[in-house]
Amino acid sequence: MIQVTGVTKAFAGKKLFENVNVAFPPGRRYGLTGPNGAGKTTFMKILSGDLDPDSGTVSRPKRFSMLKQDQFAFEEKRVIEVVLMGNAPLWAAMHEKEKLLEKSDLTDDDGARLGELEGIIGEEDGYSAESQAATMLEGLGVFEKDQGRLMKEITGGDKVRVLLAQALFGKPTALLLDEPTNSLDLDSIHWLEEFLEHFEGTLIVISHDRHFLNSITTHIADIDYETIITYNGSYDDMVRAKAQVRSRIESENQDKEKRREQLQDFVARFSAGTRASQVQSRIKQLEKLSLADTKKSNIARPFIKFEMKRPSGKQTLTVDHLSKKFDKQLFKGFSALITKGEKVAIVGRNAMGKTTFLRTILGELKSDAGTAVWGHEANIGYMPQDVKPTIPTNTTCFDYLHDIDPSAGNEQIRGLLGRMLFRGDEGMKPTKALSGGEAVRLLFCRLMLEQPNILVLDEPTNHLDLEAISALGEGLQSYPGTVLFVAHDRDLIEACATRIFAFHHDGLEDFPGNYQTFLEKHGGVIDAQA
């Protein structure tokens, strides 16, 4: 059980939540939701004890685990050892036993202690711990060849997976996960869902993957109106219930505002007259209303609508026997014809070549063999996986867009910025101060301004909250042009894709159908033999 009592937290004068009282009992799996900036990660750090609240207390079980964010904390440890460290009592017992066995002459006390340590190791399933850890790593996409390597020798994405395995290992009674699906491919996300569905303790998870939340959660804890409101059911259940809660709260807010206006009007009319006692009474009522001020919802949803200045030719992209390899063959002899209006999702395990494929067909990388030829009137809008380096740091959001299209009017640019939640003075925000999510939204502004007839998007949901991902899905569905996109968000793929390019261990498959049909063909996974 995690118990939160009277917790308040503010940053830079902005109150995130006030006097929160909520319990997270065992056996329940909570999704912690709210838009970017609502305070989800802050609240998670308060739950773990990594951050103190301004007021209030948190009680937590002795055996709890949290997904660590420091990828470089275990550089000199082997991958398998880092996972075993997730079970602190087991790791301490194994480490102490190893030190005792290194001694040349054991005392009677040492022998007794070894017996105690053997008991701890047995209680913690220590004799099967390495095989359990290895199975967990396999499920998350860190395979046997890397499990004996040092952490400093593996990629950043694999380090995130190892830290996730560490958090899951050791049977914690409470588990806190902040964006656990980051750096995971679709097959690894599926494995994690199955693992968490059988977790018996308290789970609190932050995720921008709607499908993931719907699959694993039994409850939602939503940060809104400067508090945390809990809902039964999945994320979609919460959205339906929240509409009713929001309607009730905003109706109460309107009643308060109307009452305040009536009181202010009375005070203004009679403050200089003979009704002094009634005026003072109204002033006191106003003060009470001010103390219990109306709290506003933090819901903010962008509006994404991609349009085209002119259509492309019918044959948008012709790929002919395209091949590329680095340390290994990524794709070989791949051919495909993409026609106007198709929406192609590119899927597969991490590090199999999805980004390389996009960069090769765009001409950023030279192919080893074969060609990729864009058709007549092709006008490409490209969003790379890391958008921030593509935005100059010596300008503002407004000036950045104006430089992209000097012919665009001020109102048009302000309108685009407002649709992507850069409202009022936020449109003049320096680009060097943009968060990851803001940088992605600004690049969407650019694409809407440029109006290309082809969109090439490499993991466009990175850094976006659930509201923005939903808006992106609607924007891609209604877009009349051609789309090629890499994504790990299944709802986005299912909603938008009309065709699948799937990377397998033995090559690149062109599947002429939607994602659901593709999964049915492959038994629910993309690459079972990776």
User: What domains are there in the chain, each with its CATH number?
Assistant: 1-63+172-258 (3.40.50.300), 73-171 (no CATH), 315-521 (3.40.50.300)
Q: Are 221 and 228 in contact (CB under 8 A)?
A: yes
Question: Which candidate, 226, 140, 126, places its Cα nearest to that of 189?
Answer: 140
Q: Are 319 and 355 in contact (CB under 8 A)?
A: no
Burial of 398 (0-12, 13-18, 19+ CB in 10 A): buried
Averaged in consecutive runs of 10 residues, what is the pLDDT profile of the chain (530 residues)?
94 86 95 88 93 95 89 92 94 92 88 93 92 94 92 90 93 92 87 93 94 95 90 90 74 76 80 72 72 60 94 96 92 96 94 93 96 96 93 95 95 95 92 91 96 97 89 96 94 94 92 93 67
Triad 331, 390, 347: Cα angle to 5°: 30
Q: Quote the CA–CA distance of 14 and 36 in Å, as a whole number.
A: 14
Compute the half-sphere exposure of residue 76: CA atoms within 13 Å on the CB side of its CA.
0
The reported pLDDT for the residue numbered 7 is: 95
Q: With H, G, I as helix, E, B as strand and everything else as coil, classify residue 274.
A: coil
Task: Please list, in sequence order, all residues whose beta carbon lies within 8 angstroms of the beta carbon of residue 296, skipping any fewer than 6 positions away.
Answer: 225, 253
The reported pLDDT for the residue numbered 292 is: 41
Percentages (nearest 5) of helix, strand, coil residues in the chain: 45, 20, 35
Question: Which candidate, 148, 121, 122, 123, places its Cα nearest to that of 134?
Answer: 148
Q: Quote the CA–CA distance of 114 and 103 in Å, as a whole number.
A: 12
The reported pLDDT for the residue numbered 11 is: 84
Question: Which candidate, 162, 188, 460, 156, places its Cα nearest to that of 349?
Answer: 188
Q: Where are the beta strands (DSSP E) in 161-274?
A: 174-178, 202-206, 219-224, 227-232
* Statement: the pTM of the whole predicted model exceeds 0.95: no
The reported pLDDT for the residue numbered 476 is: 97
| Contacts for 24-28: CB closer than 8 Å, 24+ residues apart | 24/174, 24/202, 24/204, 24/221, 25/1, 25/202, 26/1, 26/173, 26/174, 26/200, 26/201, 26/202, 27/200, 27/201, 27/202, 28/202, 28/203, 28/218, 28/219
The reported pLDDT for the residue numbered 70 is: 84
Tokens of 407: 């012919």
Q: Are 205 and 30 in contact (CB under 8 A)?
A: yes
Looking only at the bridges linking them, the beta strands covering 227-232 and 329-339 are unpaired
Q: List b or e across 225-239, with b for residues whose CB sees 16 or more CB atoms inside 10 angstroms.
A: bbbbbebeebbebbb
